Structure formats: structure tokens, C-alpha cells
């Protein structure tokens, strides 16, 4: 792996050993932001002064008593729907061009308490949906593997910033795949935790019963380190789970021997046939797990469209409820894509919503029964490489089955991990999911695959880095 761009765990080890200072590391990231941000549009706001102040503070603390966590002195970014005290939080919308929160979101405060260095607020889609849009006050983020390509959304800036090394880790949100989609298309690791594990207090809602907050980083280990700081009960979030937080790094390095890996072949072969590169990645993952001593089990579920339809209908109605007043008062301030979704929400009936909730309970029960016999389930992260950014369908993810929504609907933890590259040199990924609050085994399985494959050795060509030997 190139030492020009460090992972969180690599940087933490160097900082702990006194071989790297948070100030030096922060300046490295600021230099890359200066060089690549004009092309990537990964940031809405770069908090340069705050970053340098955070770095100096971390450096002084570490010199005095050593690092208090593996994140101490690590440069990170936050998706720009996460409230930050005294820092513009736009939600990528004309409605919020002057919105400066008075308090931090719980997740932002948790990372601050862990000693991170805040580099800025990262590009999203408007209120975390509806992109890429070219009629908003800020441009959409670009994929660092090819700046003419889409990042997926809505945690688009986080995906781009991590892939390009502008930050070492970042926070995304995920209502139907908004962490895992950018992770898949930008070639990084993205973890959507169990519903209720990470507080959403202070984060702009997308859909109340589907929203999740989670880490995005270059490696599975880095996501585990971030999750450790983020997880925990918060009474400010009504959905927050009051349960003990385990050590999410404990299973890393244990491999996959003895794990049962369920495979959902129907979803990627029949329900939404994936591109050859994605299929090859899934097949290689199955072979890799078998070689590591895991047992492969074929599992059966309802058509992926059943999960997608219920999930996106619920999401649509709940988005409409969240932003109804804005829509009635100032519809012209929304971009066209998001306005279309709010109009669609207004056409949905209460009876339709209840039926979707009823179907959700049935699908949760079905998924729980299927998962009872396996540790993790394996499917596609995304159906193909990143498409051209100007060719993303207006109703992207609404007109075809979606590989990620099922795990929002069921509240299960899920992670996307790189599994190769397509014919255009763009990343593809597998997705793993586990039973609710099964993050430890999920991270173990993802880490085992990651360690057995070479996909963490290559960064986007625009960075001018050589592949690791």
C-alpha cells in the first residue's frame, strides 16, 4: 500500500510511535484538497482553520499523555446533512444556504471527543436524495477514478474524499444505500450499521424509519475503528438502542474459517442481472471464502423488488412528511429531482403507506428466518461500474430493484467491500450483511475477504501514485 496516503490504522500507529504528528498529517490532507478538490467537488465547506486548530490541539494532547483513541489526530470529513456547531450545514439545498447550527450532531460530537481533525463538510445530494443535480447552489461530487463518472449517492462527497485521500475517513448516511453505493462506485469500504446503533440526533432526516449513520474509509479495519467511537445509546434519538457496545476490532484477523456465508444468487442473477465484472467479483468472493474455510449456503428470499418497492415507498412518504412545509412554502428552492420526489410523496395515500408497513413486517420476518442459519449473507454492492455523471436516470434506484434497500428495510448491518475493477477501470464491490447488531461478525467476514484480495493496493490514477508491490 502506498505510504503517500495512509489508512486510519497506519496513521494511528505512526502517531502513537511519535513518527508522525497530527499537524503533519493534516497538512498532507490540506495539500491534497488544494490539488484535487477543484476537480472533485467533494466538499461544500473546507474548514481549514478549524482543521489546523484541531490538529494542534491533538498534537499537544498526544505529546502530553499519548493518544486517547486510534482516531486521535486523524483527519475526517462529515456529510453536509450532519449539524456542526458554528459551521455551515447546507444539506446541498438553497433552503439552507445560511444554516449555521448552534450545536453538534451526536455523531459529530462523538468523533470530536475521539480527537479527530475536522477537515470540512462533504458534498451530498439535496437532503440526501435526488442527485446528481446540476441546479443546486453547489455542484455534484465527481468520482476520483474518472471525474466524468458518478459517485453514487447520497454520501457522494464522502466517497470521493476518502478514495482520493482528502480525508482518511468520513461519515455518511444511508436510507436506501447512500453509504454503500458511493463506497462501491468509489472503491472504498462503507458500513451501514444496525438501525439504532449510531445516533441520528442532529442529522437532517431523509426517512425516519430507514435512516442510518455510518463510517466510510479505505479499509474494513478503519470502519471498525470509527464505529467504535460512534456506537452507543443516545436518548436524543428515539430510535437509539440501549445496549452494550462490543469491541468491533476483536474479530479482525480471525479469518473466515467456520463462518457460514449465505449467497443470494437469485438477486444478482435473475432479479437484477449484474455486469460481468460484478458477477466475477461475487464468484471470486465465494471461492475466496471457501478457500478460507467458510461454508457457503444458498439462501432463498422473495424477489429483490419486493424489498425495494416496500422500502422506497416508505422512504418516499417519510421524506414528504419531513419536508412538506418547505415544499408548500418555497417549492422553487428545491432542485428538480428532489421536488419531483416530494410531488410523488404527495400523491401517496395513508392506506398505501400502511400496506407498505405491513409488507415490511412480513419481509423482516422472512429475512430473519433466512439469516438464522448463516453468519453473513453475500450479494452485489452495485450492479455495475459507475455510469457517466450526466447519464444517471431521473428516477435512479426507483425504476429497478436495488441491492442495498433490503437491509435498510430490515434494519440489518451491511457493508460494501471492493471486489475488483470493471472494463473501464472503475471499482466494483460485494455487499455483506449480518443479523441485527452483528457488526462484529460482519466486520470479521469483510476483513477476511479484504485481506485475501489485492484491491486495497490501488488508488485512483489522478493521484499519480504507483500501485503497491
Residues taking part in catalysis? 79, 154, 178
- Among residues 290, 222, 275, the alpha carbon closest in space to that of 403 is found at 275
Cell 448552534 belongs to residue: 102
What angle is formed at CA 379 by the lines to CA 355 and CA 305, rounded to 5 degrees?
25
Residues whose CB falls within 8 Å of the CB of residue 423, separated by 6 or more in sequence, listed in order: 277, 385
User: CA torsion sign, 296 to 184 to 115 to 230?
Assistant: negative
Spatial contact of 226 and 8, defined as CB atoms under 8 Å apart: yes
Could you tell me whether strands 117-122 and 43-46 are parallel, antiparallel, or unpaired per DSSP bridges? antiparallel
Task: Give 429's Cβ-side CA count (13 Å radius).
Answer: 30
- Among residues 310, 328, 137, the alpha carbon closest in space to that of 207 is found at 310
Amino acid at each position: 500500500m502506498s505510504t503517500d496516503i495512509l489508512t486510519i490504522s497506519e496513521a494511528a500507529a505512526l502517531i502513537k510511535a511519535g513518527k508522525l504528528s497530527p499537524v503533519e498529517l493534516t497538512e498532507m490532507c490540506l495539500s491534497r484538497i488544494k490539488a484535487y478538490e477543484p476537480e472533485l467537488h467533494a466538499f461544500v465547506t473546507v474548514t481549514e482553520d478549524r482543521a489546523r486548530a484541531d490538529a494542534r490541539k491533538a498534537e499537544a494532547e498526544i505529546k502530553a499523555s499519548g493518544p486517547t483513541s486510534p482516531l486521535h489526530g486523524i483527519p475526517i470529513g462529515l456529510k453536509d446533512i450532519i449539524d456542526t456547531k458554528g459551521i455551515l450545514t447546507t444539506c446541498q439545498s438553497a433552503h439552507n444556504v445560511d444554516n449555521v447550527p448552534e450545536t453538534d450532531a451526536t455523531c459529530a460530537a462523538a468523533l470530536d471527543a475521539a480527537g479527530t481533525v475536522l477537515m470540512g463538510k462533504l458534498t451530498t445530494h439535496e437532503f440526501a436524495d435526488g442527485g446528481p443535480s446540476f441546479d443546486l447552489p453547489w455542484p455534484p461530487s465527481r468520482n476520483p477514478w474518472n471525474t466524468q463518472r458518478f459517485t453514487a449517492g447520497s454520501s457522494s462527497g464522502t466517497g470521493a474524499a476518502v478514495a482520493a485521500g482528502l480525508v482518511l475517513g468520513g461519515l455518511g448516511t444511508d436510507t436506501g444505500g447512500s453509504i454503500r453505493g458511493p463506497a462501491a462506485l468509489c472503491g472504498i469500504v462503507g458500513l451501514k450499521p444496525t438501525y439504532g446503533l449510531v445516533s441520528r440526533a442532529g442529522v437532517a432526516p431523509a426517512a425516519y424509519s430507514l435512516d442510518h449513520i455510518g463510517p466510510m474509509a479505505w479499509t474494513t479495519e478503519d470502519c471498525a475503528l470509527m464505529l467504535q467511537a460512534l456506537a452507543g445509546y443516545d436518548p436524543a434519538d428515539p430510535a437509539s438502542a440501549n445496549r452494550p457496545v462490543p469491541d468491533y476490532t476483536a474479530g479482525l484477523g480471525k479469518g473466515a474459517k467456520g463462518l457460514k456465508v449465505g449467497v443470494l444468487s437469485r438477486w444478482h442473477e435473475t432479479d437484477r442481472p449484474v455486469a460481468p465484472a460484478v458477477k466475477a467479483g461475487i464468484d471470486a468472493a465465494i471461492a475466496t471464502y471457501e478457500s478460507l474455510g467458510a461454508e457457503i449456503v444458498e439462501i432463498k428470499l422473495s424477489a429483490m423488488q419486493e424489498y425495494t418497492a416496500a422500502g422506497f415507498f416508505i422512504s418516499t412518504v417519510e421524506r414528504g412528511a419531513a419536508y412538506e412545509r418547505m415544499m408548500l412554502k418555497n417549492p422553487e428552492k428545491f432542485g428538480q429531482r428532489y421536488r419531483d420526489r416530494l410531488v410523488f410523496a404527495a400523491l401517496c395515500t395513508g392506506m398505501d403507506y400502511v400496506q407498505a408497513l405491513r409488507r415490511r413486517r412480513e419481509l423482516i420476518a422472512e429475512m430473519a428466518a433466512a439469516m438464522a442459519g448463516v453468519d453473513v449473507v453475500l450479494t452485489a454492492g452495485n450492479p455495475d461500474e459507475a455510469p457517466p455523471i450526466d447519464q444517471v436516470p431521473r428516477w435512479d434506484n426507483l425504476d429497478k430493484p436495488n441491492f442495498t434497500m433490503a437491509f435498510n428495510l430490515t434494519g440489518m448491518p451491511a457493508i460494501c467491500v471492493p471486489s475488483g475493477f470493471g472494463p473501464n477501470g472503475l471499482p466494483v464491490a460485494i455487499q455483506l450483511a449480518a443479523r441485527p447488531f452483528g457488526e462484529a461478525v460482519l466486520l470479521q467476514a469483510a476483513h477476511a475477504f479484504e485481506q485475501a484480495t489485492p484491491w486495497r493496493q490501488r488508488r485512483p490514477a489522478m493521484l499519480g501514485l504507483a500501485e503497491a508491490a
